Chains A and B, each alone.
Chain A
Amino acid sequence: MTALLELERVDAEYGATAVLRGVSLAVPDGGMVALLGANGAGKTTTLRAICQMSVRTRGAIRFAGGRIDGRATETIVRLGIGHVPEGRGTFHSLTVDENLRLGALRRTDRGIAGDRDRVCGYFPVLASRLRQQAGTLSGGEQQMLAISRALMARPRLLLLDEPSFGLAPVLVQEIFRILKVINRDEKMSILLVEQNARLALDLVEHVYLLETGRVVASGPPQQIAADASVRRAYLGQ
């Protein structure tokens, strides 16, 4: 399988603070990959490095065959990367509908209204809240809105930064189920950052484990889950 996204020995730093050291990873086209690790391991920074969000990087980052490191964030996302950031990136003062339209801002085709219905099909609660200010939504609803906004751009790759953060367990399961459907039915590649290792391991086909800015293990979820140190550190067993 060819890689849609590829990081090759990527270092990343904020100002003088080095966060990533030599991170290499790949997301196959149509694949679903998880990036696991403790707080401060560099998971969010990895996603921010991919989109070049106020972080300096060295090493090659390739998307769909072309180098994207060193380019502007807005140029990178226009190539087909949907980034659901840490904190969800909701436009609080705008309505739910406006948030969704912003997701599709770069598109000029006629499928936008249809796509809004499609994402509202995944998350029916949004359909009833279209005219509401996004800032008044609950945390779970805002997470759904953030994912939906990214989907509205019809990206080839979805980057998700801890979609389970702060949500009730049932809601997390529902969101993860929908992510699986999106990955399977729309052939959308997904790179998922999670602290909730157990959930992520059930969902993806490949896992990278990050520790203090380095990839310390990688492989299929069964293999990672079987690793004794991983079980101790992340699964509480």
Chain B
Amino acid sequence: MTMQAFLHQLASGLASGSIYASLALALVMIFKATHHVNFAQGEIAMFSTYVAYTLIKAGVAYWLAFAITLVGSFLAGLAIERGIMRLLRNAPVLTAVVVFIGLLVVFNGTAGLVFGQTIQEFPSPFDPHAWYGTTYLSPHEVGALAVTLIVLGVVFAFFRFTRLGLAMRAAAESPESSRLVGIRVGWMLALGWGLAAVLGAVAGMMTAPIVFLEPNMMGGVILYAFAAALLGGIDNPWGAPIGGFIVGVLVNLGGAYVVGSHLQQALALAVILAVLVFRPSGLFGRTVVVRV
């Protein structure tokens, strides 16, 4: 094993980690607001990617298609919360889980029905010979890393510095107190769903050129995102991206040097198991003690 190969694995681990990071943040956002883990997040992201693909095939310029897809995903996330999840506000956890799995199957099946099961090549907006390609990272990996970091930065700035972001954080922490300061909590949850769908769409569009576009493309990615979200602490939005990068590097290095590329997904499961057994609150999460 050469140093160069090691650095290459490390760098591309960071690049794929950035994709897990945005999907993990989407999971954490919905978890913080509703205490549900959205198992359908990856499939919604896959569907968004198909929408982008259809637009690009129809001749829309890449970045315009990218922007339209983000807006469409936002509205779709909003609609899912208003139309479906709102009815489950007081439902038992298992009911929500079943609905999430239902959504997963519906999105997966619909994508297969509408767009077909054949594997498609999804274009990268980054020229494979661009100057920003390095020995260790292809231009697409550099570009995906940059796009993800920008999106994460915008999302964090939104939550940190805007009134709406503050209202959303408040609604996630205490719905009742939020209503007492005049916040429409239901709409804040819907906005959270919209934003999560946007993050998922970014992850999907950045993943597709690497894994190819097909209805099951996010199956592996969502698993890594779960591991990332749990590792960072499922209730900590700062932990999610860090967890994403750690999982990306761990899986890449482990796949290259320890277990082989076929068992990479098992590494994600090992991370999930290890976190749940040894540190359920994750690296940066808060331990919640419930008095009964």
Contacts and interface: CB of A to CB of B under 8 A. Distances in A.
Contacts of A83: 180
A89 B176 contact: yes
B183 interface: yes
Interface residues of A, number: 24
A102 B173 contact: no
Nearest to A75: B182
A101 B167 CA distance: 10
B181 A105 contact: yes
Interface stretch (A29-37, A92-100, A120-128): A92-100
Given A85-B180, A94-B166, A105-B163, 16 more contacts: A51-B180, A73-B180, A83-B180, A85-B177, A90-B177, A93-B169, A94-B169, A94-B173, A98-B166, A98-B169, A101-B163, A102-B166, A102-B167, A102-B170, A102-B178, A105-B181
A177 B2 CA distance: 75
B185 interface: yes
Contact of B166 (A72, A73, A77, A101): A101
Interface in B125-177: 163, 166-167, 169-170, 173-174, 176-177
Nearest to B181: A102
Given A53-B176, A91-B174, A105-B163, A77 B169 contact: no
A233 to B, nearest CB: 31
A44 to B, nearest CB: 13
B180 A89 contact: yes
Interface string A144-163: 00000100010000000000
A77 B182 contact: yes
A78 B178 CA distance: 12
18 contacts: A51-B180, A53-B179, A73-B179, A74-B183, A77-B180, A78-B182, A85-B176, A90-B177, A92-B173, A93-B173, A94-B170, A101-B166, A102-B166, A102-B181, A102-B183, A105-B182, A106-B182, A153-B181
Max chain A C-beta neighbours (<10 A), residue from B167, B169, B170, B180: B180
A221 interface: no
Given A53-B176, A89-B176, A91-B174, A106 B169 contact: no
B184 interface: yes
A94 B185 CA distance: 17
A213 interface: no
B134 to A, nearest CB: 40
A102 B174 CA distance: 12
Given A98-B166, A102-B166, A102-B167, A77 B179 contact: yes
A89 B173 CA distance: 11
Contacts of A106: 181-182
B182 A89 contact: no
Contacts of A98: 166, 169-170
B161 to A, nearest CB: 11
A42 interface: no
A90 B167 CA distance: 14
Contacts of A74: 179, 182-185
A93 B181 CA distance: 16
Contacts of B176: 53-54, 85, 89
Contacts of A77: 179-182
A90 B174 CA distance: 9
A53 B167 CA distance: 19
A94 B177 CA distance: 13
Contact of B173 (A53, A91, A105, A149): A91
B128 to A, nearest CB: 45
Contacts of A78: 182
- Kindly name the residue among B163, B170, B173, B179 whose own CB sees the greatest number of chain A CB atoms within 10 A: B179
Contact of B182 (A54, A91, A153): A153
Contacts of A91: 169-170, 173-174, 177
A77 B163 CA distance: 18
A89 B185 CA distance: 15
